[in-house]
Chain A
C-alpha cells in the first residue's frame, strides 16, 4: 500500500517519531526520579531508576520464562478436540 494512503499511525516516519517520543518519556521518568525521594522500606527503592530497571528486567524475565514453559505446555489448538469421541460416543446416539 502507498505510504500516503496508510493511516497516519502506520506510516514509517510516524512510527519512528513515536519511538523517539517514547524514549524521551522514558528518560524523563528516570530523571524525575532524581527529584523525588522514595520511601525506603528495603533500602533499594531510592537508588537511581530502581523501578525502571526492575520493571524492565522482571518483564524480560517473565517473557523468557513463559517462552521456555511454552516449549513444554504448548499444544495444537485441536489437542482436546477428540475428547468427545472418548467414552461418550455410546451415549451420543441417545440424546434428544
Chain B
C-alpha cells in the first residue's frame, strides 16, 4: 500500500517558499512540485485519512474524497501550466506566492476537518494578496489591501461560524452541514464571500485585473473555486444558493457588458460562471452537483486560457482597455486563435469543455420542473456568449484597427495556452475522463441531436444579437459603480469627517486639561507650600532624590530596629 505521509497542499506551500533560493531552483520547482503533488494525490488509496490529535480535537489534515481529489487535480494542473505561462516573465515573488496560494487551495480540498480547512483558507488569503503585490505598482497595492480586508472579514465570519458550530455540535468534521443556527449561516457567509457572492462581489473585478499578466491567471483559478468546493461539500441542496447563484450569473453579464477593461470583463465573467456552479449546488441533485463540479474543472482551464490570452496581449502592448485595442489578430494570430478557443469553451459551444459540463446544471433544473430557473439559465447561457464569448475576442483582436502591430506572445506563453486549449477541446470531444472523476456516477449524454441544435440556435442567435446591437455597445472610458463604492467613497468620506470630529474633540479635551493644570499650578504657586525648600526648585529630580533618601532611611531604620 502506498503511504501518503505528507499533505500534498503543504508540499506546494513549502516548495513555494523555497523558490527565492535561486533561479535554477525556482525553475525546477515549477515543474517538479505540481507533478509530485499529482502523484501524491492519485497514489493515495480511496477514502484515505490521516488523523492528528490537536488540543483535544482529532484533526484530519489529509482526507481523500472523490470531490477533493478532482479539485486538487485541476489545481495542481493549474499550478503547472500557470507556471509555464509565468516561467520567464513573472517575478520570483509572484511565482513563490502563487505556489503557496495553489498549495493552500489544494490543502483546503484535502482537509477533513474545519480547523485544517480554516488554516489553509487563511494562507490562501495571504498568498493571493502577495500575488497581487508582485505587480509592484501603486494601484495594485491599494487594490490588494481592499482585497485583503474583504478576505480577512470573510475569514472572520468563517472562524466565528466554526467556533459556534464546534460548541453546538462538538464536531469539527468538514462534511455536509445543515443550516440550523447562526453558526452554520456564518460558515456559509464565509464561503460565499470567497465565491464572489453579493453584496461583496466587487472584490474580484477590483483586485484581480491589477495583478501582473500571469498573476491574474493564477488568481482566477483558486479562491472562487475553492469556495465552490467547500459549498459543494458543506451545503449541497441549500435552496438559498439558487437565488444567490442566479443573481451572480446576471450580475456578471451586466457588469461585463458595461466594462471597458478586457481583464475586468473576464473578472466579471468569473462571477457569472461561479454563479452557474452555485446554482447547481443549490439544486442539489446528483446531476446538478456533478454539473457544478465538472463546470468548476472546465472553468478553471478555459478561464485561465482566456486570461492568458489577455495577459499575453497586455504583456506585448501594455494596454488593457478595449478602446485602445483592436485588430491584433493580424500580428498575434496564435494568441487570438487560442483565446477564441477559450471564448468558445466559456460559451459552452459544442465540442468544447463548457458544453459537456454546464448543460448538466440546466438539465437538472428541467428535471425538477423549476421553470423560472431553467429559463434564467438558458438566457444566461446566451448571455455568456454575448459578454465573454464574443465581446472579449471581438474588442481585443478584431473591432477596429488600433494601428498596433505587437509581436506574437513569447513561446512559453503560447505553450501554456496551447496545453489548455487542447484540454478545452479534448474534454469537449471526449468527456469520459472528466466524468469518471466526478463526485457521483454520471448518467448524462451531452451529445444528442436535440441538445446540439438547441445550443447552436441559442448561441448563434446570441451572436447575431451582439452584432445587431453593436452600436449600443460602443466602449466608453468609464468604470461602473458597485458595492465597493460604499467602502471606497462613503466610508473614507465619513471616516474623514469622523476624524475631524475626533480631532476637534481631542483638541477640546487637551485645552480643558491644560487649563486645569495651569489653574492648579497657579493655585499651588500662590499657596505657602510653594515657598518650602523642595518646592522652590522646579526640576523634579531633586524632589525624587530626597524622597529616595527618606525611603532608604526608613528601610535602614526598619532593618536596624
Q: Mark A residues whose CB is within 8 Å of B.
A: 7, 9-10, 22, 25-26, 29-30, 32-33, 35-39, 41-42, 45, 49-56, 58-60, 62-67, 69-70, 72-77, 79-80, 83-84, 86-87
Taking CB atoms, residues of chain B closer than 8 Å to A56 are: 461-462, 464-465
Taking CB atoms, residues of chain A closer than 8 Å to B453 are: 29, 32-33, 36, 38, 51
Instruction: Give the secondary structure class of B's interface.
Output: helix
Complex CA distance for A22 and B468, rounded to whole angstroms: 13
Q: Which of B257, B258, B461 contacts A55 (CB 8 A)?
A: B461
Q: Can you list 12 contacts pairing A with B, beta carbon distance less than 8 Å?
A: A9-B398, A29-B453, A32-B453, A41-B374, A55-B379, A58-B383, A59-B382, A66-B257, A70-B480, A77-B479, A80-B488, A83-B142
With both beta carbons as reference points, the residue of chain B lying nearest to A1 in the complex is identified as: B401
Known: A63-B469, A63-B473. A87 touches B480 (CB 8 A): no
Taking CB atoms, residues of chain A closer than 8 Å to B482 are: 73
With both beta carbons as reference points, the residue of chain B lying nearest to A58 in the complex is identified as: B379
Binary CB contact string for chain B from 456 to 468 against chain A (1 if under 8 A, 0 otherwise): 1111111111101
Interface residues on chain B, number (Cβ under 8 Å): 56
Complex CA distance for A72 and B463, rounded to whole angstroms: 27
Q: Does the CB pair A59–B462 fall under 8 Å?
A: yes
B297 at the binding interface (Cβ < 8 Å): no
Binary CB contact string for chain B from 318 to 351 against chain A (1 if under 8 A, 0 otherwise): 0000000001011000000000000000000000
Q: Which of B142, B458, B478 contacts A77 (CB 8 A)?
A: B478
Q: Does the CB pair B254–A65 fall under 8 Å?
A: yes
Complex interface: stretch among B188-196, B493-501, B537-545: B493-501
Q: Which of B254, B449, B477 contacts A36 (CB 8 A)?
A: B449
How far is the CB of A20 from the nearest CB of chain B, in Å?
13
Taking CB atoms, residues of chain A closer than 8 Å to B456 are: 29, 32
Task: For the complex of A and B, list the 7 residue pairs with the smallest distance between their C-beta atoms, beginning with the closest.
Answer: A59-B465, A51-B457, A58-B379, A66-B257, A55-B382, A41-B366, A55-B458
Q: Does the CB pair A51–B458 fall under 8 Å?
A: yes
Q: Does the CB pair B457–A30 fall under 8 Å?
A: yes
How far is the CB of A3 from the nearest CB of chain B, in Å?
14
Taking CB atoms, residues of chain A closer than 8 Å to B419 are: none
Q: Does the CB pair A7–B330 fall under 8 Å?
A: yes
Q: Does the CB pair A54–B458 fall under 8 Å?
A: yes
Complex CA distance for A45 and B257, rounded to whole angstroms: 28
